[in-house]
Amino acid sequence: MAYDKFNILTSTAVPLPLENVDTDQIIPARFLKATKREGFGDNLFRDWRYNNDGSPKESFVLNNPIYSGKILVGGKNFGSGSSREHAAWAVYDYGFRCVVSSFFADIFRNNCLNVGVLPVQVSPEFSEKIFTAIYDDPNTEIEVHLPNQTITIKSTGAQESFEINSYKKENMLNGFDDIDYLQNIKGEIESFANDLLL
Amino acid sequence: MSSTLFDKVWDSHVVRKIEGGPDVFFIDRHFIHEVTSPVAFLGLKSRGLKVLYPERTFATADHNTPTINQHLPVEDPLSAKQLKALEDNSNEYGISHWGLGHQKNGIVHVVGPENGITFPGATIVCGDSHTSTHGAFGCIAFGIGTSEVEMVLSTQCIMQPKPKKMRINVNGQLGKGVTPKDVALYIISQLSTSGATGYFVEYAGDVFENMTMEGRMTVCNLSIEMGARGGMIAPDETTFAYLKDKPLSLKGEAWDKAVAHWKTLKTDEGAKFDKELTFNASDIEPMITYGTNPGMGIGISKQIPDAEAVEGGVATYKKSLDYMGYNENDAMIGKKIDYVFLGSCTNGRIEDFRAFASIVKGKKKADHVTAWLVPGSHEVEDKIKEEGILDIITEAGFTLRQPGCSACLAMNDDKIPAGKYAVSTSNRNFEGRQGPGSRTLLASPLVAAAAAVTGVVTDPRELL
Ligand code: SF4
């Protein structure tokens, strides 16, 4: 599925300093019944965001007008649990283009990269710095610079570099996905398959 | 050069290596179900692609299916639409489809091995994280996202960086009432839910060597709950005996040839792992979880740890206990429970029903407990009847439901009500996993059975 190219993103950020945020919280299973990929953002963090009667829970950060932006800053082990790509869709569909955490669960990280959300892994210390900066001033801007692989807190100038493999980086910069690549080497795949026993 | 089981299987499936990027990784077997495949087929259609090897993909309906009255039309319109999409897509692209009511229908990770679709040394993926189950046969098996489902359908490959390797050894003799589920929950409690992130695990040592295939599947199934991409166990005579004569297993000479190859699938002496951990079987007791992730487990006789004693944030920990309605230092024994769920791809196999029956035999279900006993497949259901297990559980006041994922993820009507406590043999105790507001205690079929007859958390060793 095509997504917008990612280059340099400068935005305020939404803090969610909880650990082990699993994909069942990001999007509960009962919202996986779609046969199309649309509207998942409405149910992002559904059970943390809304009461049973559908009214917003005021204490949850997405309902707090002070915080907004295209960057979500989560706690350690973000995106653990179920492999549902719907979690990454929901994050993207809500309007986030980047998730920052000191540690990501594998499948979620992969899924993000496949749908155009950049996962940025930072050190625990830097993660703390971001939270502090946002809490001090919710208008603090964070710059995520994909070409340079850096993340910067604009107000303090604090900066850290992050890792991404060069293949995925190219994809994100160009808005390509893996299927485009695989389609181009189909012949090679078929000859590989011909040599298999089973 | 000596190499690990994981290396042998991985390296033999790399179609191409990309400099500074992932490997193009060939997939032998692909399972699809109704929830994570419709959007993948939609993508396929919008790009005008076809399915490259339909004979390598298998479809079963399990995630949102009802577990009673399966002969009637599915009531929930959204679920019905997903089931229909799976059927239509399978038919359109020539994929075998075991839909609701089909004799071979059941949970994807139960029916795959049961029918011999799974085989040693295979690479297997499915849009479900517990695909790691198939690692029990010496496979590299893991869950993928919907974009990757589309990749596999159209090219039989995905793009994967090779994970690091971890070996987990458990040696010694398991005590009475200690099951494979307890071994897995114990390891997760030691490693935490992120302790194996970035790794692929090989399980080794006599505890796994002596385990049945069902037990090995339970262990590999839970690999994902410590963050690992998957877990595997070297194939051996137990594996071959299980697979021989399964409907889709190889036959005759082809079988013999395959077995000769499969026997080479083990870690060589001196092969290197990035990380190695060793545990003692005698340290493991029946386990139970008290919190909202599978790493929050303790021996059933123990008390809920102090916030100070656990790794990680105190705030997250307290939020979790709050959700559960528990306090630090509470004993788990004696905690009242409302529901029992026996089933899922973790513990929905015949052995699990035998274990459950061994405890409830001659006893009665506690009055206030609602119990959902859900076989993993029709084949399991049939065996339950053949072996007389149905009589035992019926006598004890339980009823048997029809196969499916059921309360494991509560996409169908099998939802634990808000605030209620369920002892579940499934794999995840996340907030709301078993229904909005539900509270889950993960445990083995023995612990579930003990709770079902006493109505409170009970040490199963007292009832064996
Ligand atoms: S039983 Fe649960 S974990 Fe297993 S396949 Fe079904 S939903 Fe996934």
B266-280 pLDDT, tens digit per residue, is 999 999 999 999 999
Among residues A143, A39, A25, the alpha carbon closest in space to that of A75 is found at: A25
Among B147, B160, B317, the residue to mutate for chain A (most A Cβ within 10 A): B147
C-alpha A49: how far from chain center: 18
Residues of B whose CB is below 8 A from A83: 36, 127-129, 143-145
The pLDDT of B233-239, averaged and rounded, is 98
Tens of pLDDT, residues B398-426: 999 999 999 999 999 999 999 999 999 99
Do residue B36 and residue A193 have CB atoms under 8 angstroms apart? no
Do residue A107 and residue B194 have CB atoms under 8 angstroms apart? no
Is 90 exceeded by the pLDDT of residue B68?
A: yes
Integer distance in angstroms from the first to the last C-alpha of chain B? 49
Place B294 in a pLDDT band, splitting at 50, 70 and 90: very high
The pLDDT of B302-330, averaged and rounded, is 92
| Candidate from B128, B222, B346 with most ligand 1 atoms within 8 A of CB, to mutate | B128
Q: Would you state the pLDDT for residue B259?
A: 98
Is 90 exceeded by the pLDDT of residue B312?
A: no
Q: Would you state the pLDDT for residue A38?
A: 85
Element (H, E) at B60: strand B57-60
Do residue B36 and residue A47 have CB atoms under 8 angstroms apart? no
Q: State phi, psi for B240 to the nearest 5 degrees.
A: -65, -40
Q: Does the beta carbon of A165 lie under 8 angstroms from any beta carbon of chain B? A: yes
What percent of chain B shows pLDDT beyond 70? 100
Structure-block tokens of residue B94 = 């020539």
Tens of pLDDT, residues B34-47: 999 999 999 999 99
Residues of A whose CB is below 8 A from B418: 52
The pLDDT of B315-343, averaged and rounded, is 97
Q: How many CB atoms lie within 10 A of CB A141?
A: 16
Do residue B129 and residue A107 have CB atoms under 8 angstroms apart? yes
Position A175, amino acid:
G
Q: Would you state the pLDDT for residue A37?
A: 86
Measure in Å the smallest separation between the Cα of B294 and chain A Cα atoms.
10
Q: Does the beta carbon of A88 lie under 8 angstroms from any beta carbon of chain B? A: yes
C-alpha span between A45 and B62 (Å, rounded): 25
Measured by CA distance, the residue closest to atom 4 of ligand 1 is B345
Q: Would you state the pLDDT for residue A83?
A: 85
Is 80 exceeded by the pLDDT of residue A142?
A: yes
Measure in Å the smallest separation between the Cα of A181 and chain B Cα atoms.
9
B187 lines ligand 1 (CB under 6 A): no
The pLDDT of B332-336, averaged and rounded, is 98
Structure-block tokens of residue B103 = 């004799």
Tens of pLDDT, residues A157-198: 999 999 999 999 999 999 988 998 999 999 999 999 999 878
The pLDDT of A71-82, averaged and rounded, is 94
Place A134 in a pLDDT band, splitting at 50, 70 and 90: very high
Q: How many CB atoms lie within 10 A of CB A174?
A: 12
Task: Name the 3-class secondary structure at B313.
Answer: coil
Measured by CA distance, the residue closest to atom 6 of ligand 1 is B405
Contacts 24+ apart (CB under 8 A), B382-386: B383/B350, B383/B353, B384/B350, B384/B353
The pLDDT of B45-54, averaged and rounded, is 95
User: Which A residues, 92 through 151, put their C-beta within 8 Å of a C-beta on chain B?
Assistant: 103-107, 110-111, 114-115
Q: How far is the CA of A185 from the centre of ligand 1 (A)?
A: 33
Is 90 exceeded by the pLDDT of residue B342?
A: yes
Place A36 in a pLDDT band, splitting at 50, 70 and 90: confident
Structure-block tokens of residue B126 = 């499915």
Residues of B whose CB is below 8 A from A81: 129, 428, 430
Q: Which of A104, A165, A181 sits opposite B161 (nearest CB)?
A: A165
Nearest CA in chain A to B311: A19
Q: Would you state the pLDDT for residue B229?
A: 94
Q: Which of B155, B258, B432 sits opposite A182 (nearest CB)?
A: B155
Q: Would you state the pLDDT for residue A1?
A: 58
Q: Which of B19, B76, B156 sits opposite A189 (nearest CB)?
A: B156
CB A79 within 8 A of CB A44: no
Place B56 in a pLDDT band, splitting at 50, 70 and 90: very high
Q: Going along chain A, which residue ranges are E strands?
A: 8-11, 13-16, 71-74, 98-101, 118-121, 142-145, 150-153, 159-161
CB B344 within 8 A of CB B220: no
Q: Would you state the pLDDT for residue B453?
A: 98
CB B440 within 8 A of CB B433: yes
Q: Indicate the pairing of strand B57-60 with strand B29-32.
A: parallel
Sign of CA dihedral B302, B306, B311, B317: positive
